[in-house]
Amino acid sequence: MKEFYKSNRKNIINSMGDNSVLIQFSGKAPKKSADGLYPYTPNRNFYYMTGIDEENIIFVIIKTYDKSEEFLFIPKRDELLAKWVGETITENEAKDKSGIENILNTEDFNPKINEIIKSKNISSLFLDLERESFESSLSYEEIFAKNLKEKYPEINIKNIHDSISNLRVVKDEKEVSIIEEAISITDKAILNLIKNAKPGMMEYEMEAYFNFTLKSNGIKDFAFDTICASGINGTVLHYVANDSKAKDGDLVLLDLGAMHKYYSADISRTFPVNGKFSERQKDVYNLVLKAQLAVIEMLKPGVTFPEINSLVHKIYAEGLKDLGVIKNDNEVSKYYFHNTSHYLGLDTHDVGSRDIALEKGMVITVEPGLYIPEEEIGIRIEDNILITEDGCRNLSKNIIKTVDEIENFMKK
């Protein structure tokens, strides 16, 4: 993967102007309570550029008119800390993972930045200034930008976030293979959950079978909080409490995924906890499946996200009227209220504009659903799809999905 990270850096260097600097931070685990911390996970754009997943590391690119230089600043070894929590990354490990040869200590960062700005005639400095909303707290990068501007008012600070996001939208073969491995392990875990599910079980008991399979296959983290929603809970889009009892006759909606090497799988399946769909459940399920298969069939370069959503709404309008759920087309949104697709990659809801057409190398989800609370029916079916040169490839096609496949598996 070292060559992959080197290629990513080359692409971003090409997008930077002369006499500019890029600074990225790996991040650190925030405080949870008392002396406890939340689990650390690397800043995904930092990881995409370096392949390093440790805290308190800084990456710097200097680009002048005739060359570019790359630096990594890593913490100096702390012997006492090593006894408590383990060794931090060494200089040789940092070089081997990232392909970056210039390794310095983090205590050298401030003097080095001062030297760079003063001696290299730097006019622009790029930071990853992602902002979710106006109300969000200032990120570490934003605080750093504010302090930097106070000390060096002549520097023009620019946001590199969108440039890196645009690169991440198209995956290379190595990234796709990692996603496929995450999907394969997720498949095993789904089968273990369904195999052991039965009426009267708590949702968290079923979830435990999924968790066990992931951990047994070396997965350290989940792509997101697992949804294991029985009965009416399945009509709540992001239900994650998983603390209800599944009744005989309930459907169980699963939305879950393994994270492998920081790449996510994102799969949804819905099954009857007693092993047999009722006729009504089967009719609604097959409508959702019809919409999902129709979308997968249409996917190819040039298709847009609005076209995907439009097709699902068209199929639902006709199908829900046939099922007696709605009378008018505009009622579809009462039972289907989210988009059908999003990008998938280093983030489950991966970065990238949805105002552009699909192109080769993109990985997206296809996840139509129907949520009918008055009938306690919640169904979502989701696969992970790679856009190819003239169509698409379903990366999760091996995960059981049809009514017959699910019922036959549960009979065993």
Q: What is the pLDDT of residues 84-116, one digit of tens each?
A: 888 889 999 999 999 999 999 999 999 999 999
Shared domain check, 260 and 164: no
User: Are 383 and 402 spatial neighbours (Cβ–Cβ below 8 Å)?
Assistant: no
User: Are 345 and 371 spatial neighbours (Cβ–Cβ below 8 Å)?
Assistant: no
Shared domain check, 149 and 164: yes
Contacts of 352 (CB under 8 A, 6+ apart): 165, 166, 168, 169, 343, 362
Neighbours of 52 (CB within 10 A): 20
Q: Give the mean model confidence (pLDDT) for residues 336-343.
A: 97
Task: For residue 366, name the pLDDT band (cuts at 50, 70, 90).
Answer: very high
Per-residue model confidence as pLDDT tens digits over 123-156: 899 999 988 889 888 888 999 999 999 999 989 9
User: Can you say whether the dihedral through the CA atoms of 53, 344, 302, 397 is positive or negative?
Assistant: positive
Tokens of 109: 């960062």
Shared domain check, 324 and 222: yes
Q: What is the CATH number of the domain that holds 53?
A: 3.40.350.10
Q: How many domains does the chain have?
A: 2
Give the CA distances from residue 346 to residues 43, 151, 297, 353, in Å, rounded to whole numbers and listed in that order.
10, 34, 26, 15
Phi-psi region of 94 (alpha: psi -120 to 50; beta: other; left: phi over 0): alpha
Q: Which domain holds residue 80?
A: 2-168
Q: Give the mean model confidence (pLDDT) for residues 257-269.
A: 98
pLDDT of residue 85: 82
User: Are 309 and 336 spatial neighbours (Cβ–Cβ below 8 Å)?
Assistant: no
Q: Give the mean model confidence (pLDDT) for residues 203-213.
A: 98
Closest CA to 168 of 298, 353, 406, 328: 353
Q: Give the mean model confidence (pLDDT) for residues 328-349.
A: 97
Distance CA 301, CA 297 (A): 12
pLDDT of residue 135: 85
Which of 18-32, 201-215, 306-320 is predicted least confidently? 18-32
pLDDT above 90 coverage of the chain, percent: 87
Domain boundary among 138, 168, 198: 168
Biggest CA pair distance of the chain: 75
Residue indicated by tokens 């680009």: 63
Distance CA 330, CA 318 (A): 11
User: Are 242 and 255 spatial neighbours (Cβ–Cβ below 8 Å)?
Assistant: no
> What mean pLDDT, rounded, does the chain reach?
95
DSSP string, 285-298: HHHHHHHHHHHHHH
pLDDT at 82 over 90: no
Shared domain check, 254 and 197: yes
pTM of the model: 0.95
pLDDT of residue 122: 87
Shared domain check, 182 and 158: no
Distance CA 225, CA 112 (A): 41
How many helical (H) and strand (E) elements, i.e. helices and strands, does the chain have? 13, 19
Domain boundary among 133, 168, 203: 168
Shared domain check, 111 and 258: no
pLDDT of residue 66: 78
What does residue 33 show for φ and ψ, rounded to 5 degrees?
-170, 145
pLDDT of residue 136: 85
pLDDT at 120 over 80: no
Shared domain check, 174 and 158: no
Task: For residue 77, name the pLDDT band (cuts at 50, 70, 90).
Answer: confident
Q: What is the CATH number of the domain that holds 203?
A: 3.90.230.10
Task: For residue 276, name the pLDDT band (cuts at 50, 70, 90).
Answer: very high
Shared domain check, 181 and 264: yes
Q: Give the mean model confidence (pLDDT) for residues 9-35.
A: 93
Shared domain check, 22 and 135: yes
Neighbours of 206 (CB within 10 A): 23
Shared domain check, 134 and 82: yes
Contacts of 348 (CB under 8 A, 6+ apart): 223, 224, 257, 264, 266
Task: For residue 303, name the pLDDT band (cuts at 50, 70, 90).
Answer: very high
pLDDT at 318 over 80: yes
User: Are 204 and 193 spatial neighbours (Cβ–Cβ below 8 Å)?
Assistant: no
DSSP string, 241-303: ---SBPPTT-EEEEEE-EEETTEEP-EEEEEETTS---HHHHHHHHHHHHHHHHHHHH-STT-
CA angle 92, 262, 49 (to 5 degrees): 50
Domain boundary among 105, 136, 168: 168
Distance CA 47, CA 178 (A): 15
Rounded CA Rg of the chain: 24
User: Are 173 and 360 spatial neighbours (Cβ–Cβ below 8 Å)?
Assistant: no
pLDDT of residue 72: 97
Shared domain check, 176 and 218: yes
pLDDT of residue 27: 94
**DSSP label of 316:** H
User: Can you say whether the dihedral through the CA atoms of 116, 117, 120, 124 is positive or negative?
Assistant: positive
pLDDT at 121 over 90: no
Shared domain check, 69 and 49: yes
Q: Return the SS3 of 150.
A: helix
Give the CA distances from residue 60 to residues 67, 89, 106, in Å, rounded to whole numbers and listed in that order.
14, 17, 12
Q: Return the SS3 of 311.
A: helix
